[in-house]
Amino acid sequence: MHPDLQAASLSKLSAPMRVIANKMLATPPSMETIDQYNKALIQIQNPSSEIYGFYHIFYVSLDPARIPSPTFDRFNEGIVAPLMAGIISLQRLVTTRPNNEVFPDLWPRIAAWSHFLFKYEKSLRKKTGLGSLNRWFVGLLDFCLWMSDEIPTNTSLITSSPLSPIIAAHAWRCCFSQPTEFRQRDRALRMIKTILINSTIPLNEILAGSSLKLSDLAGIVMQQCEVAIPRTTSGDRWFDRNHLLDHIWHLDMALDVVVILDGVVGRRQKTIPDYPLCGALLPVGFVTTVAIAIRTLSSADPSDDEYNKTLNNSLILLGSLAGQQRGDQVLQTALEHGLLRALIALSKRDQLGEIAHGILLELVLDFMIPSTVYYYFLKALETAYTEAADTLAHGTHFPSHPDLARAWDRFLVTMGTRLDLRVQFDSDSGPSRGVCGNAKCGKIAARKDLSACKGCSEVLYCSRECQKVDWRARHRESCAKERDSHSKARIIYTAKERTFLRFLLHQEYLNHKFQIALDHTTGWAANRNAILFTLYDFTTFPVQVETYQASDDIIKGVFRGVGFMDMQMMHLKEGAGDRKWMFKLARENSEVPDALKDVAVRLDSLSRDQIRIYVAQCLQREGMVAITADI
C-alpha cells in the first residue's frame, strides 16, 4: 500500500483506535491486540468514516504470506494471531465498500484467504472455536457482485481466478443451507452463475477444491430447479405453469451451470457422451424437471428471449440425457410428462431457433425412432400419443420446417408398426406367438402353449424346467417378486425387454427370410463351408437386413446347443451409442441350409428366376425355428 494512502487512512481514526491500529502494524500482533482489534471493529457502526481508517490493516492482515502452511498440525499464538486478524478483516470487508485505489490487488488476496479457510474450515472450527462460515461465503459473493458493479475491470479478474469457481460452488451450497432465506440472495446467486458459467476450471477440480461430491452438486442443482418446479408438484403433469414462468431465472441458472460445467453441446452425438453431472442428476428427478420445462415453455411466448434461452438449454440437456446408455428410459420418463405434445408444438412454430431445430431433429431421428424397439418405451409412447392426438389432428404439415415434417412422418410410421407388434406380443389370443424366456431354449410357440411366471406375469416359459433354468441364470434378478431384495443388482435389460427384442428379431426374420436365403445361397456359392450371419439393423426404419461372412471371433461358440444354428446379429441404438447382440436361430434340422448349399453348387448354371424358384422350394422344408439367447 502507498505510504500516503496508509497515512490518510490512519488520520480517519480516533486516538484510541489509532493506538490499536499501530499495534496491529508495528509488530506481529498478540492475541490481546487481536481481541482489542475485534472489539474496536464491533463498536464501529456502519457507515462510518472510522471503518475506512482500518482498511490498510485489512490489507496487511490479508497478506497471503500470513496464511498458515497447509502442513500445520498444531495452533500456537504465532499462527492463531495472524489467522484471526485475517478472518476478522475478511468479515468486515464483505460488509463494507472499499476504495479500489487503496486495494490494488484486493481480489487475489481475498481469493487466497478464501481458499485456505474453505479447505480447512472443519479443522479451523474445531481448533479455534469459529462458527460456521456459511454466512461469510454468501456475503463474499455479494461483495464480489458489488465489485463487479462498481468497478467493471474487476469482473474478468474475479471470474478468471482459478479459485473463484471453487468459492462459488461452496457459496451455492451455503445459499440453500437456510431455505427460508435464500430467496433474498438473488444477488449472490447471480454472481455464482456469472463465475461458474465463465469458469475454465474442470468440474473435477472444482469438486475437489470445494470438497463437494458429484452427488452434492447434483443436489444443489435440484434445489435451484425446485424454486421454479417444486418437487411436491413435479409429479403433477398439469401444475401451475405460471409459477415456473415467474421463477424462470432460477431454472435457467441451474440449467446453464449444468450445460457449462458438463461441457454439454447441442449437436448430434456419435458415441455415449461423458457427462458426469448429468449422470448424477438422472436418479434424482432431473429428467422430469427438464420435461416439464420443455412442456411449459413450448406453449410460452416464442418471442421472449429468456424463455427461448431456457428452452434451448432444456432441449440440449434432454438430448445429452437421452444420449446415455439407456436413453430410452430417459425418453420414457419425459413422455410421461408431456414431451411428445411439446415437441410437436415446437415443430409447428413458424420461428424456431437453430439450436432448437437441430435438437428436435436429433431427438426424433436419432433417439425416439430407434427407441421404439424397447417394450416400456413403447407403452409410454402409446399413452403419450393418445393424449397428443389433438395436436396431430391436421397431420405433420409443418410448412416452415419440411425436414421436421419428414422426420415426424418417419416416426409415426415406425411407431405404428412397432405398436402393432407390441399388441401382438401382448395378446392372449389369436395367432400371435410367444418366446420361451429361457435363454437356452427360446422356443417359439402359440401363447396358449406357454405359461407365465407367477412372480411377475411378464415372462413366458414352455416348461417348468425352462423356468427353473432361467430363474437361476437371470430372472431371479428382475422378477417383480424379488426385485426389492435385489435392488442393488444392476439390470440393464429386464427379462421382458429381452423377450420382446427376440420377438422383434423373429418378426424381421419372417419378413426377410426369402432374401436372407438368397443371400446365403450366394455366399455358399463362393465358399460352401463359409459360416454366415445376418445383420438386422434396428437403428433405422425400415430395418435393414444384410448377410456377411463371420469372422473367427464371431464364430466361437456358434454351434453350442441342439440342432443347426444360424447366427443373427441385432444392431440396436443405446442412447448415442449402440449394442450388437448375436442371437441364434435354432432349427429342428439342417434340411434348409443343406438344400440351399446344393442350389449354390449349381448357381452359375441357373437363371435368376430358377434360383428364386429353387430357394422358395427349399424354404418350404423349414419346420419350427426359434430365436434363442444372445451368444
Long-range contacts from 125-133, C-beta under 8 angstroms, 24+ separation: 127/75, 128/75, 128/80, 128/83, 128/84, 130/87
Residue 488 has pLDDT above 50, yes or no: no
- Structural domain containing residue 589: 496-630
In a domain, 355, yes or no: yes
Q: What pLDDT score does 238 carry?
A: 47
Of 420-434, 435-449, 499-513, the least confident: 420-434
Average predicted confidence (pLDDT) for the chain:
80
Are 456 and 568 part of one and the same domain?
Answer: no
Are 231 and 301 part of one and the same domain?
Answer: yes
At 40-60, the pLDDT tens digits run: 887 776 556 677 677 777 878
Q: What pLDDT score does 65 carry?
A: 82
In a domain, 273, yes or no: yes
Sorted by sequence, the CB contacts under 8 Å of residue 306 that are 6+ apart come out as: 248, 249, 252
Compute CA 381 distance to the chain's CA centroid, rounded to the nearest angstrom. Answer: 21
Percentage of the chain exceeding pLDDT 70: 76
Task: Give the number of other CB atoms < 10 A from CB of residue 65.
Answer: 6
The grid cell for 496 is 421382458
In a domain, 195, yes or no: no
Structural element, H or E, at residue 544: strand 544-549
Q: What pLDDT score does 112 carry?
A: 79
d(CA 308, CA 301): 9
Predicted confidence band at 538 (pLDDT cuts at 50, 70, 90)? very high
Structural element, H or E, at residue 452: strand 451-452
Residue 486 has pLDDT above 60, yes or no: no
Q: Are 183 and 250 in contact (CB under 8 A)?
A: no
Are 583 and 509 part of one and the same domain?
Answer: yes
State how far the alpha carbon of 91 is from the alpha carbons of 120, 135, 143, in Å: 17, 10, 11
Sorted by sequence, the CB contacts under 8 Å of residue 200 that are 6+ apart come out as: 160
d(CA 603, CA 628): 31
Regarding predicted confidence, which is higher, 602 or 17?
602
Q: What pLDDT score does 580 carry?
A: 86
In a domain, 48, yes or no: no
The grid cell for 484 is 426389492
In a domain, 600, yes or no: yes
As for how many domains the chain has, the answer is 3
In a domain, 129, yes or no: no
Are 296 and 444 part of one and the same domain?
Answer: no
Residue 394 has pLDDT above 90, yes or no: no
Regarding predicted confidence, which is higher, 557 or 371?
371
d(CA 448, CA 441): 17
d(CA 527, CA 415): 40
At 290-340, the pLDDT tens digits run: 999 999 999 888 888 989 999 999 999 999 999 988 899 999 999 999 999
Regarding predicted confidence, which is higher, 184 or 341?
341
Predicted confidence band at 487 (pLDDT cuts at 50, 70, 90)? very low
At 84-108, the pLDDT tens digits run: 777 777 767 666 665 555 556 777 7
Residue 162 has pLDDT above 50, yes or no: yes
Are 367 and 350 part of one and the same domain?
Answer: yes
Are 399 and 457 part of one and the same domain?
Answer: no
Residues in the chain: 631
At 169-226, the pLDDT tens digits run: 887 887 777 655 555 677 778 888 888 888 888 999 889 887 789 999 999 999 999 8
Helix (H) and strand (E) counts for the chain? 30, 9
Q: What pLDDT score does 89 carry?
A: 76
At 109-127, the pLDDT tens digits run: 877 777 777 677 667 666 6
d(CA 62, CA 64): 6
Beta bridge partners of 584: 567
